[in-house]
Amino acid sequence: MNLIIDVGNTSVKLAVFKQEKLILKERISLENTQKAVDNIKQKYKDINNAIVSSVGNLKKSDVDYIKKHFQLIVLDASTKVPFINYYKSPETLGVDRLALVSASVQQYPQQNVLIIDAGTCITYDFISKENKYLGGAISPGIRVRYQSLNNLTANLPLLETKMPDDFIGNSTAESIHSGIINGVLNEIEGTISKYDKKFKDLTVILTGGDADFLSKRLKSSIFANSNFLLEGLNYILEFNTN
């Protein structure tokens, strides 16, 4: 059994896999990492291996604690991955993106795959049917766009995410919703269209915290999978330990 620890910008996701089957998934606050890991260790005594993927600020003491109990891989640019990396600055490539591409290799082998992760940022990652990772794009996520309008202007309010009633906003609030949500949807649709024209038989995966909200509103054919990153981390761990 494997323990997967995904440290994001605002929280930590913990998952337990038995081979490829997801047994447990939970979200915790960063300060509760050691306690949560200890609880999992007590409940699942067959866990031997663990992987940490961190785009946030996991303390060294937390990493050291995990190392005491499991054979640990801390995912970074030097970790062996199941694809050929053509990224020109691999040391700057986010570990979350490494995991997403790895998941696509496992689940959609020898296919042209575009992975869209809609979270704090919206990332686009493309891997070719020849198993070559070519890169992608990074843009602000939905909440970042709402926060930016509020933080960088004098009079625009901070609103909760909402699908606009119409693409023509008839109030300041509706105009903000229309600009942000329709802007994101048009960005994603436009990006998919560009890749689809260049690469035949394109498979599109949508994941991340806003995947459910967006998937219902996209016209393009996509596969939505909220566990895609965790599955990719588990595959990297298996790839390095078997």
Q: Would you state the pLDDT for residue 64?
A: 92
Q: What is the set of active-site residues?
A: 96
Q: Would you state the pLDDT for residue 11?
A: 84
Q: Would you state the pLDDT for residue 31?
A: 87
Q: Please give the Cα distance from 172 to 133 (Å, whole number).
A: 42
Q: Please give the Cα distance from 102 to 79 (Å, whole number).
A: 12
Copy the structure tokens of residue 90: 């691999």
**Beta strands across the sheet bearing 71-74:** 21-28, 12-18, 2-7, 49-54, 71-74
Q: Please give the Cα distance from 179 to 182 (Å, whole number).
A: 6
Phi, psi of 154 (to 5 degrees): -85, -30
Strand boundaries in 65-170, DSSP class E = 71-74, 84-85, 112-118, 121-127, 132-140
Residues of the chain with pLDDT under 50: none
Contact 52, 15 (CB under 8 A): no
Q: What are 132-160's pLDDT values in tens digits?
A: 999 999 999 999 999 999 999 999 999 99
Helix (H) / strand (E) containing 50: strand 49-54
Q: Position 62: which residue type?
A: D
Q: Would you state the pLDDT for residue 121?
A: 94
Cα angle 210, 213, 214 (rounded to 5 degrees) comes to: 85
Contact 131, 146 (CB under 8 A): no
Q: Would you state the pLDDT for residue 8?
A: 82
Copy the structure tokens of residue 176: 């903000």
Q: Please give the Cα distance from 132 to 232 (Å, whole number).
A: 16
Structural domains of the chain ordered from first start: 2-74 (3.30.420.40), 84-232 (3.30.420.40)
Q: Please give the Cα distance from 7 to 4 (Å, whole number).
A: 10
Q: Would you state the pLDDT for residue 187?
A: 98
Copy the structure tokens of residue 9: 């910008």
Q: What are 159-187's pLDDT values in tens digits?
A: 999 999 999 999 999 999 999 999 999 99
Q: Would you state the pLDDT for residue 59?
A: 86
Q: Please give the Cα distance from 26 to 81 (Å, whole number).
A: 25
Name the pTM for this structure.
0.93
